[in-house]
A = this chain, B = another copy of it.
Amino acid sequence: MRPTVNDIAHAAGVSLATVDRVLNARPGVRKVTIERVNKAIEELGYVRDLSAANLARRRTYRFVFVLTEGDSQFQRTLRETIEEVAKNAARERMMVETVLVPPGDPHHLARVLHGLEDDRAEGVAIMAPETPHVRDAIRHLKENGIAVVSLVSDLPNTDQDHFVGIDSIAAGRTAGVLMRRFLCKNKGKVLVLSNTMILRESVERRLGFDAALIESYPEIEVLPSIEWRDDPDRLERNVRAAFASYDDIIGVYVTGPGNRLFSRVLAPYRQEHDLVYIAHELTDHTRAGLADGSIDVVITQDIGHVVRSTLRVLRAKVDKTEIDAAQERIRIDVVLKENMG
């Protein structure tokens, strides 16, 4: 049988109350006594029973995900995953809510975040671009004792507690090195596409991509990023212009969402061009692209892992307990048709 607090008390020759004080870092215990208790804990190999602890604490965690609206496959998958994970989280007394804010409206976002201060949640997970308003709102949240975690898109210059996601520069570098290897010393141009460069990871991925590709492979020219900002026509125009200007385009790299649209735009040019196509984020569409061979590699992160990790981290922050770095590290996944699973 596992030792309980009672066993510890007995072994240490103190009362239950003292053990409790030590365990929960309550004041009013002498140093020597603390050590005696800790020694007993060590010797008996006591570990706190989480079930009982949670029950007694009758703590229910309220966490809010704040996401920007959008109907890209990625965002849709994210929302679905949150919903699904939330269901299981309920068993562990975590109530998860999702709030959507319109994209490109930092004021609205800041208002929403401020609204969370008064007792709506003890933890907030944010995926949104970093702006002064957001920085401000996050500081307020933290001042009110609310845990703040960013997911997918880092908010490094804020008071956030943690970022759950991948290193975008490394992700871009991974894309770059794969592009380099898949291009097999051919000379030519590489097209880089991004719906918007407002999100920092778009910029960082491009950075890493260029670094990995150009530094070791100067025969390749990486063209300036094509942005289309939710405007399909602009995308089409720019792509047409690119293929008109250069007949040696041999690779395309899409740094973020938008593969569904871009694939359609790209289709007419694929017959005459043998392209290496590298994309980000595994979704139904990129999955299909891998399967039919139109996409060569997808660099991605496991969304389920991201969401579960976010909740674990939020809980750890609220409880002020350690987080298991190994478990919470999100890997940069390289997905080919063969290991798609």
Contact = CB atoms under 8 A, between A and B. Distances in A.
A12 to B, nearest CB: 20
A51 B48 contact: no
A275 interface: no
A267 interface: no
Contact of A174 (B93, B308, B338): B338
Nearest to A84: B326
A337 B54 CA distance: 42
A188 interface: no
A341 B331 contact: yes
A50 B91 contact: yes
Given A55-B49, A173-B338, A177-B338, A304 B327 contact: yes
A60 interface: yes
A244 interface: no
Interface residues of A, number: 50
Interface stretch (A64-72, A135-143, A178-186, A217-225): A178-186
Contacts of A324: 88
**What's the number of copies of this chain in the assembled complex?**
2
B338 A336 contact: no
Interface in A29-67: 47-52, 54-55, 60
Contacts of A331: 302, 333, 339, 341
Contacts of A337: 177
A309 B26 CA distance: 36
Contacts of A51: 50-52, 54-55, 92-93
Interface of A: 1-2, 47-52, 54-55, 60, 87-88, 90-93, 95, 167, 170-171, 173-174, 176-178, 181-182, 184-185, 208, 212, 299, 302, 304, 308, 324, 326-327, 329, 331-339, 341
Given A1-B60, A49-B55, 9 more contacts: A2-B60, A50-B91, A181-B181, A212-B338, A333-B333, A333-B339, A334-B334, A334-B335, A334-B336
16 contacts: A2-B90, A2-B95, A51-B55, A55-B55, A167-B341, A170-B339, A174-B336, A177-B338, A181-B181, A208-B338, A302-B331, A308-B327, A332-B339, A333-B333, A334-B334, A334-B339
Give me the 10 closest cross-chain CB pairs, A-B, nearest first.
Answer: A184-B184, A332-B339, A334-B334, A51-B54, A51-B51, A174-B338, A174-B339, A173-B338, A47-B90, A51-B55
